[in-house]
Amino acid sequence: MSTSVSPLAPKTFATLPPLRGVRMATAEAGIKYKNRTDVLMMVFDGPAAAAGVFTRSRCSSAPVDFCRRNLAGGVARAVVVNSGNANAFTGRKGRAATELTASSAAAAVGCAESEVFLASTGVIGEPLDATKFSGVLSDMNLRATEDFWFEAAKAIMTTDTYPKVATRTAEIAGVTVTINGIAKGAGMIAPDMATMLSFVVTDAALSAPVLQELLSKGVGPSFNSVTVDSDTSTSDTLMLFATGAAEADGQAPITDVANEALDGFRLALNDLLKDLALQVVRDGEGARKMVAVTVEGAESDAAAKRVALSIANSPLVKTAVAGEDANWGRVVMAVGKSGEVADRDRLEIWFGDVRVAVDGERDPDYSEADASAVMKQQDIAVRVNLNLGSGHATVYTCDLTKEYVEINGDYRS
Amino acid sequence: MSTSVSPLAPKTFATLPPLRGVRMATAEAGIKYKNRTDVLMMVFDGPAAAAGVFTRSRCSSAPVDFCRRNLAGGVARAVVVNSGNANAFTGRKGRAATELTASSAAAAVGCAESEVFLASTGVIGEPLDATKFSGVLSDMNLRATEDFWFEAAKAIMTTDTYPKVATRTAEIAGVTVTINGIAKGAGMIAPDMATMLSFVVTDAALSAPVLQELLSKGVGPSFNSVTVDSDTSTSDTLMLFATGAAEADGQAPITDVANEALDGFRLALNDLLKDLALQVVRDGEGARKMVAVTVEGAESDAAAKRVALSIANSPLVKTAVAGEDANWGRVVMAVGKSGEVADRDRLEIWFGDVRVAVDGERDPDYSEADASAVMKQQDIAVRVNLNLGSGHATVYTCDLTKEYVEINGDYRS
């Protein structure tokens, strides 16, 4: 874990209100870290609707496999998350660890194992000794409290330099509901899925299929549009739960995603997902600058996104940003290597408000001083217009610094 | 340009013999660098057969466009290469610069402009003042000499820390022929094509279509199997010329690539291409270690190559190598994110001779000390067996160090 906080960290953290129907507790199980919490347990008072999006890695972790199976039921009573060990590529031992954890959680809470969800983050390939925390789950269930979101976010950190939290409210047919979310992630961050763990809970009364559809759509412009290092983790997990507590205030349960009463909720959820995703980028390992890469004028939105990711993942673009160098030639290179249709002689490129290239060459009005001034900022917008169609997309990344190399050159030791 | 030579540089350089039918000269045109040569001119005494492979970038440079057009003729009389400016993304000015250079070279040598080939390497997006060297081409033609290969390699360097040269001989139906090659490249190196410039010349008598077929096949396991930073340049150019001088020794010209008399030549050429390609990797910007990534047991050779590139391009794998950390969990991650079919529970992974993972988990006999000893070496072999089929591939890369970030964070200034 890093000792200094990212210079891109939020200046203040959102205060997450208690959310009816879910309680949390954390514990120090000593899985890898000393003197800090490394296990989080979320307990739902009743059956909560559950939805999830997971890594597309072909080598997904044991907890991801476990969650995918249980998601078919669509009901959650408990979530157990640990940091320090990803329980990934741990074979039969990994499966046994998930089973032990699930049975311990189910016994503690009094629910079925199919109502338990698990996530692990940390080193890959080391067997996880689940007995370290399975024994404390009963106690955690008794201690769990509603007003515990910030502590929950802290317990799931690995190389994160700050906890990631966000909260929103929305109205559903006149009833105010709340959405709280926490996330972790700093490296091994790329689509798809957004290499990290995130747990979002609402007190709204929504069916599991509605939740799933909202989440699957919402992840596109948020967690699936951020990249730190193009490396996709084996453990990426984003889950959304609905406790349904707002039913007591008169919110009629929603089971149809097309219901217009959901419009405000959808906006609030998408906004919260983007907030959390950007917090992950802003904590990118070694990051000193945040970069928003927008591609317009592509043949389709999907093509725009591929070009944007080619730019955002280019080591040469990212090191140029680190060096505050307005090296738009590398942006041209990254457009060219994306494989998408591009006409060199139609390209326009901006850094911030400074157009640096137009019609296949340097902008005649280009000012090195103006472009350099943009590069000195902490948040940098790179915009490319392919001038071919109407497809557009924005992805978010950070610069590539010596600190990234330092953090990742000796992570295990 | 770097001041210290890569620790992975060859201990000695091959001595390239004069090659009948081609002469070379270099000059200091002051395009970007001071007090070093930055222009190379190759002159063929008679019409040489020509073949080429170029970048797949959609934003290829003006010289690449120019070469592609002229390659249709299949005949070369002159090659002009400059370093310091890539003449890429320079619009109409860029096309004008290629035309001026070609007409100057044609006038100097006394050939058609369609028999001139051009390459430029260096900064992208800056207009190239071709008058700087077009005026010296006549003089260079007069000065050009056969015994000049090493100087030629030096003139085309940019961030290279050493010149790349290789030579081979082969027999074609009892006649000994020679192949000489030079290359440049250190960053912005990735398939396809092998982000660099390379010029290979033989005195064998081979038709242009035969040369092209040999080159297109030979590039697969050589230049298209190396990656420094996954960034594909706009200027990648690999050309192969045959002066045909060996005809004077009785070598009957070969016009059919299936001719068995070519077998020895093909082997020698492929060996030379691989030699040059590996020299490029060993000069990777900031590189301290060379990594050969072999993937076996894939569904196809193409699938194996995609998995191998996913591993070789992973920033987390490359920083782990830099840190001498036997972090095979990141290899699992990179296999998983490749998108190719993989069965976690069949994966085997080796560092050198040390099997670290088998059957979806850590090898029971795994020794951290043995694996660490492998990582301390300068040349590291990473091997993955997917145990699904018989597809295999090897790609070559280097580690990702703080020096890479340093070199690329301030390249333009």
A405 with B410: Cβ contact below 8 A: no
Is residue B197 a contact partner of residue B237, using CB atoms and an 8 Å limit? Answer: yes
Q: Write out residues 154-183 of B within 8 Å (CB-CB) of A.
A: none
Q: Count of CB contacts below 8 A, A vs B?
A: 229
**DSSP structure string for A228-281:** SSSPPPS--EEEEEE--GGGGGT---B--TT-GGGHHHHHHHHHHHHHHHHHHH
A1/B219: higher pLDDT: B219
Task: State whether residue B92 sits within 8 Å of chain A by CB.
Answer: yes
CATH architecture of B290-409: Roll (3.10)
Average pLDDT over residues A358-365: 88
Average pLDDT over residues A333-339: 86
A89 with B361: Cβ contact below 8 A: yes
| Chain segment A24-61, per-residue pLDDT in tens | 999 998 888 788 899 999 999 999 999 999 988 878 88
Chain A residues touching residue B341 (CB < 8 angstroms): 58
Q: Is the pLDDT of residue A10 over 70?
A: yes
pLDDT confidence band for A65 (50 / 70 / 90): very high
Q: pLDDT value at position B92?
A: 85
A359 CB neighbour count, 10 Å cutoff: 15
Q: Write out residues 291-320 of B within 8 Å (CB-CB) of A.
A: 313-316, 319-320
B124 with A329: Cβ contact below 8 A: yes
Q: Which residue in the set A91, A123, A343 is minimally distant from B360, CB to CB?
A: A91
The DSSP code for A203 is -
Task: State whether residue B85 sits within 8 Å of chain A by CB.
Answer: no
Q: Is A285 annotated as a binding residue?
A: yes
Q: pLDDT value at position B410?
A: 64
Closest residue of A to B231, CA-based?
A: A314
Name A25's Cβ contacts closer than 8 Å, sequence gap at least 6. A40, A41, A43, A140, A141, A143, A144, A145, A148
| Contacts for B317-321: CB closer than 8 Å, 24+ residues apart | B317/B382, B318/B291, B318/B397, B318/B398, B318/B399, B318/B400, B319/A404, B319/A405, B319/A408, B319/A409, B319/B399, B319/B400, B320/A408, B320/A409, B320/A411, B321/B289, B321/B291, B321/B375, B321/B380, B321/B399, B321/B400
| Chain segment A79-114, per-residue pLDDT in tens | 999 988 888 888 888 899 999 999 999 999 999 999
A60 with B344: Cβ contact below 8 A: yes
Q: Which of B330, B345, B355 to mutate to probe the A interface, most A CBs <10 Å?
A: B330
What CA–CA distance (Å, rounded) separates A57 from B336? 4
Establish whether the linkage from the previous residue to A193 is cis, with ω within 30° of 0.
yes
Q: pLDDT value at position B188?
A: 61
| Chain segment A372-383, per-residue pLDDT in tens | 999 999 999 999
A188 with B410: Cβ contact below 8 A: no
Q: Which of B32, B58, B68 to mutate to probe the A interface, most A CBs <10 Å?
A: B58
B231 with A333: Cβ contact below 8 A: yes
pLDDT confidence band for A218 (50 / 70 / 90): very high
| Chain segment A159-172, per-residue pLDDT in tens | 788 999 999 999 99
Average pLDDT over residues A191-208: 80
Residue B149: what residue type? W
A285: left (phi over 0), alpha (psi -120 to 50) or beta: beta
State the nearest Cα–Cα gap between B395 and chain A, in angstroms: 18
Task: State whether residue B347 sits within 8 Å of chain A by CB.
Answer: yes
Residue A95: what residue type? R
Q: Which of A65, A188, A228, A316 to mutate to probe the B interface, most B CBs <10 Å?
A: A316
Chain A residues touching residue B56 (CB < 8 angstroms): 337, 339
In chain A, where the domains are located: 22-282, 290-409
| Chain segment A340-351, per-residue pLDDT in tens | 888 888 999 999
Q: Is the pLDDT of residue A188 over 80?
A: no
What CA–CA distance (Å, rounded) separates A257 from A204? 13
Q: Is A397 annotated as a binding residue?
A: no
Q: Which residues pair with B183 in a beta bridge?
A: B164, B198
Domain range B22-282, CATH class: alpha beta
Chain B residues touching residue A360 (CB < 8 angstroms): 89-92
Q: Is A195 annotated as a binding residue?
A: yes
Q: Write out residues 211-250 of A within 8 Å (CB-CB) of B.
A: 229-234
Task: State whether residue A413 sits within 8 Å of chain B by CB.
Answer: yes
Q: Write out residues 125-144 of B within 8 Å (CB-CB) of A.
A: 125-127
Q: Which of B64, B126, B319, B413 to mutate to probe the A interface, most A CBs <10 Å?
A: B319
Task: State whether residue A393 sits within 8 Å of chain B by CB.
Answer: no
Q: Is the pLDDT of residue A411 over 60?
A: no
Task: State whether residue B54 sits within 8 Å of chain A by CB.
Answer: no
Q: Write out residues 316-335 of A within 8 Å (CB-CB) of B.
A: 316, 319-320, 322-323, 325, 327-330, 332-335
Beta-strand relationship, B354-358 and B361-362: antiparallel
A339 with B58: Cβ contact below 8 A: yes
Q: Is B285 annotated as a binding residue?
A: yes
Q: Is the pLDDT of residue A284 over 70?
A: yes
Closest residue of A to B340, CA-based?
A: A58
What CA–CA distance (Å, rounded) separates B154 from B185? 12
Average pLDDT over residues A356-383: 92
Q: Where do the DSSP E strands lie in A301-371? A: 348-351, 354-358, 361-362
Q: Which residue in the set B329, B344, B400 is minimally distant from A123, CB to CB?
A: B329
A362 with B231: Cβ contact below 8 A: no
Q: Is B217 annotated as a binding residue?
A: no
What CA–CA distance (Å, rounded) separates A176 from A170? 6
Closest residue of A to B410, CA-based?
A: A323
Angle of CA points A335, A340, A341, to nearest 5°: 95
Choosing from B37, B98, B178, B195, which is the catalytic residue? B195
Q: Which residues pair with A223 in a beta bridge?
A: none
- For residue A373 the two structure tokens come to 């001034």
Closest residue of A to B407, CA-based?
A: A319
Average pLDDT, chain A: 90
- Rg of chain A over all Cα atoms, to the nearest angstrom: 22
Residues of chain B with pLDDT under 50: 1-2, 190-195, 411-413
- For residue B238 the two structure tokens come to 């690999």
A315 with B411: Cβ contact below 8 A: no
**Tally of CA atoms within 13 A in the half-sphere of B372 that contains its CB:** 6
Is residue B20 a contact partner of residue B176, using CB atoms and an 8 Å limit? Answer: no
Chain B residues touching residue A345 (CB < 8 angstroms): 91
Task: State whether residue A368 sits within 8 Å of chain B by CB.
Answer: no
A69-78, A223-232, A298-307, B200-209 — which is least confidently predicted?
A: A223-232
Is residue B53 a contact partner of residue B235, using CB atoms and an 8 Å limit? Answer: no
The full 3-state SS of chain B, as one line of letters, equals: CCCCCCCCCCCCCCCCCCCCCEEEEEECCCCCCCCCCCEEEEEEEEEEEEEEEECCCCCCCHHHHHHHHHHCCCEEEEEEEEEEECCCCCHHHHHHHHHHHHHHHHHHHCCCHHHEEEEEEEECCCCCCCHHHHCCHHHHHHHCECCCHHHHHHHCCCCCCCCEEEEEEEEECCEEEEEEEEEECCCCCCCCCCCCEEEEEECCCECHHHHHHHHHHHCCCCHHHECCCCCCCCCCEEEEEECCHHHHHCCCCECCCCCHHHHHHHHHHHHHHHHHHHHHHHCCCCCCCEEEEEEEEECCHHHHHHHHHHHHCCHHHHHHHHCCCCCHHHHHHHHHHCCCCCCHHHCEEEECCEEEEECCEECCCCCHHHHHHHHCCCEEEEEEECCCCCEEEEEEEECCCHHHHHHHHCCCC
Task: State whether residue A80 sits within 8 Å of chain B by CB.
Answer: no
